Amino acid sequence: MIYKIHHLHCGTMCPVCGPLFGQKGLHAKVVCHCLLLETDQGLVLVDTGLGIQDYLHSKARLGNLVSLLGRIENNLELTAIAQIQRLGFSPQDVRHILVSHLDFDHAGGISDFPHATVHVLSSEYNATQNFFSLKNKARYKTQQFKQHRYWNFIEPNQGEAWFNLHQVQGFNLFQDEILLIPLLGHSKGHCGIAIKQDDGWLFFCGDAYYSHRQLNPKNKLRTLDKLERVFAENNQMRVDNLHKIQQLAQTEKNIKIICAHDPVELARYLT
């Protein structure tokens, strides 16, 4: 049972060129939007943003290129662990971590919760072990999670339909109140997380899109699309899943759709 959902701001990056991220101006504001769920099985963290060690040892953990181009705001108060403590919880209360994927800006906080079980698609974790891919080297920083002991690797097999998408087969830890929805394309094992609410669903889409403006197919964000093509593991799959998300946004009013990096969406829940 899910009692409450908290929206967390777990990192801010200000890279050059706002249009690359569907924004205006010289610098974009890219947030790490994460969720904290109070459940009858303890706290559940959805994505982790940047962790303590990412702030304290940025170049060693993330590399010079990310530190230089990402323009990360150095603020330890934005870590998930700091925010969880401010809410009155202990880090040990976090029993489960669901990650949309293991890019550095989503997985950095895993090391701050050594007793939690991390749930991830097996195809995503396997991609982090491909050290011959330059793209994987850029996106995955395995020192963030290579020492973690507790994992649940989920096979990305298609299960029952969830609206115009499908949930992962066999993930029933939360009695269908939390679903993993494969949204492949951005990365090898990228997925969304659907959370049941009293009035419908909250659908966390990770990096399946970057700007709320993309939910309307009439908005053509060509510069952002070029950036997403560069990041994508399989661009055609990414585009196909974006179209499905757009269909949900246009037709299913009981689904609240959010992504991981849009400051406008985050602000709706923090104000």
Question: At 97, which CATH number?
Answer: 3.60.15.10
pLDDT, residue 49, reads 98
Q: pLDDT tier at 160 (50, 70, 90 boundaries)? A: very high
> Which strands sit side by side in the sheet containing 178-182, from one edge to the other?
178-182, 191-197, 200-204, 255-258
* Cα gap 135→130, rounded to integer Å: 10
Mean pLDDT score of the chain, rounded to an integer?
95
pLDDT, residue 238, reads 98
* Cα gap 56→3, rounded to integer Å: 34
| Domain with 217 in it | 2-270
pLDDT at 135 over 90: no
Q: pLDDT tier at 68 (50, 70, 90 boundaries)? A: confident
Residue pair 34/45 in contact by the 8 Å Cβ criterion: yes
pLDDT, residue 64, reads 85
What DSSP line would sit under 191-256, residue for residue?
Answer: EEEEEEETTEEEEE-TTS-S-GGGGSTT---HHHHHHHHHH-SSHHHHHHHHHHHHHHHHH-TTEE
* Cα gap 78→84, rounded to integer Å: 10
pLDDT, residue 46, reads 98
Instruction: Please count the other Cβ atoms lying within 10 Å of the Cβ belonging to residue 254.
Output: 8
Secondary structure element (H or E) that encloses residue 138, with its range: helix 134-139
Residues 65-76 have a mean pLDDT of: 89
Instruction: Please count the other Cβ atoms lying within 10 Å of the Cβ belonging to residue 56.
Output: 11
User: How do residues 16-27 score in pLDDT, each as one tens digit?
Assistant: 989 989 999 989
Residues 157-163 have a mean pLDDT of: 95
Across 200-229, b (16+ Cβ under 10 Å) vs e yields ebbbbbbbbbbbbbbbeeeeebeebbebbe
Residue pair 193/178 in contact by the 8 Å Cβ criterion: yes
The β-bridge partners of 65 are none
pLDDT at 172 over 90: no
Among 28, 1, 27, 70, which Cα is nearest to 211's?
28
Structural domain count, the chain:
1
Residue 253 to residues 195, 199, 262: CA-CA distances in angstroms?
15, 10, 20
pLDDT, residue 134, reads 85
Residue pair 66/104 in contact by the 8 Å Cβ criterion: yes
* Cα gap 165→21, rounded to integer Å: 25
User: How do residues 80-125 score in pLDDT, each as one tens digit?
Assistant: 999 999 999 999 999 999 999 999 999 999 999 999 999 999 999 9
pLDDT at 271 over 80: no
Instruction: Please count the other Cβ atoms lying within 10 Å of the Cβ belonging to residue 173.
Output: 18
What is the pTM assigned to this prediction? 0.97
Share of the chain above pLDDT 90, in %: 90
β-strands 42-46, 30-39 pairing: antiparallel
* Cα gap 244→124, rounded to integer Å: 21
Quick one: tokens of 148? 């973690």
pLDDT at 70 over 90: no
User: How do residues 11-58 score in pLDDT, each as one tens digit?
Assistant: 999 999 899 899 999 899 999 999 999 999 999 999 999 999 999 999
